[in-house]
Amino acid sequence: MSSALRIESFLEMMSAERGSSDNTLAAYRRDLEDAQGVLAARGGLAKAAPADIAFYLEDLSLRGFASTTQARHLSALCQFYRFLYSEGLRGDDPTATIDAPRKARNLPKTMGESLVDRLLARAEAEASEAGLSDAERALRVRMQAIVELFYATGLRVSELVQLPVTVAARNDRFFAVTGKGGKDRLVPLSPVAREAVKAWAALRNADPQWADSRFLFPARSKEGYLARQVVARDLKALGTRAGIRAADLSPHVLRHAFASHLLQNGADLRAVQQLLGHADISTTQIYTHVLEKTLSDLVANHHPLAD
């Protein structure tokens, strides 16, 4: 079996047995095909030895890839070769003795509460502005719903754009969302966010072209819902109008703000883990840096020996 066919078999397994998303599968494909291209002259992935894997990682380094990107490529290779070994397509795992590149632990980029308030206020003001055409009002009301949803729920952008329209018909404080690996979790919906979503749904439902769409944010695309790139572009544009640098704002930054602000205001780390849909608490622990001042103040103000 050629390396290309082995890659296809691996991706089919990841989709069927592990429920990997399209984005995850596309990332695995890119990484594995990149490795195959580099190692083709050395026999390709199918025949790669530990020395070949080390050669590939060195090639990534020479191309200027960060250690985090190198580690991701190695992770893809590890899972690929474990699959081949379990299927009897190889008798060994050439990645078993390879050390992962040392990764620097970057703190997530986030926003202060005052900046988020400014962003939300700008979205609300633009959505309620007088004299707008129907098309422009729809775009602004949609943007307000998106921003309120991001900050109220901590959703990933891929989760938000695929929300069903039924979310707008509910008055519950929580709703279910399907995250990575097909896992469901409950996320909160604040009263303000709920009203913003209902305002958008009223305009959306009044448009006959979306009558048959099951998505809250429909679009004329192959998938049938708004593209992540469109959301990111429009969010940055809104931020710029609110006086926030485009480089400082993205859907993921709002997700980080959701988590950071919860922790700053006393939320439990485990609860934040569940709300974000993190499988491992260690992923959520990157946010604990926001607690440093809170904890320092707590000790200074309440410990009997603080004086």
Is 103 one of the catalytic residues? no
Choice among 29, 82, 180, 228 that is catalytic: 180
Q: How far is CA 247 from the centre of its chain?
A: 17
Is 245 one of the catalytic residues? no
User: Distance between CA 291 and CA 272 in Å, rounded?
Assistant: 13
Runs of H (alpha helix) within 191-291: 191-206, 228-241, 251-264, 269-276, 281-284
Choice among 118, 228, 252, 289 that is catalytic: 252
User: Distance between CA 261 and CA 194 in Å, rounded?
Assistant: 20
User: Distance between CA 211 and CA 153 in Å, rounded?
Assistant: 26
User: Distance between CA 82 and CA 95 in Å, rounded?
Assistant: 9
User: Distance between CA 133 and CA 49 in Å, rounded?
Assistant: 63
Choice among 28, 81, 151, 287 that is catalytic: 287
Choice among 156, 204, 236, 256 that is catalytic: 156
**Length of the chain, in residues:** 307
Q: Please report, for residues 9, 46, 88, the alpha-carbon distance to residue 1 in angstroms, rounded to integers and kept in the order given.
A: 10, 8, 12
Is 30 one of the catalytic residues? no
DSSP 8-state class, residue 151: H
Nearest to 72 by CA among 34, 22, 129: 34
Beta strands in the chain (DSSP E): 174-178, 184-188
Query: Between the CA atoms of 71, 18, 283 and 188, what dihedral angle is there, to the nearest 10 degrees?
Result: 150
> 48 and 7 in contact (C-beta within 8 Å)?
no
Is 252 one of the catalytic residues? yes
Is 73 one of the catalytic residues? no
Residue 215 — φ and ψ, nearest 5°? -95, 145
Nearest to 155 by CA among 259, 276, 238, 274: 276
Is 287 one of the catalytic residues? yes
Choice among 194, 255, 256, 261 that is catalytic: 255
Q: Which residues are catalytic?
A: 156, 180, 252, 255, 278, 287
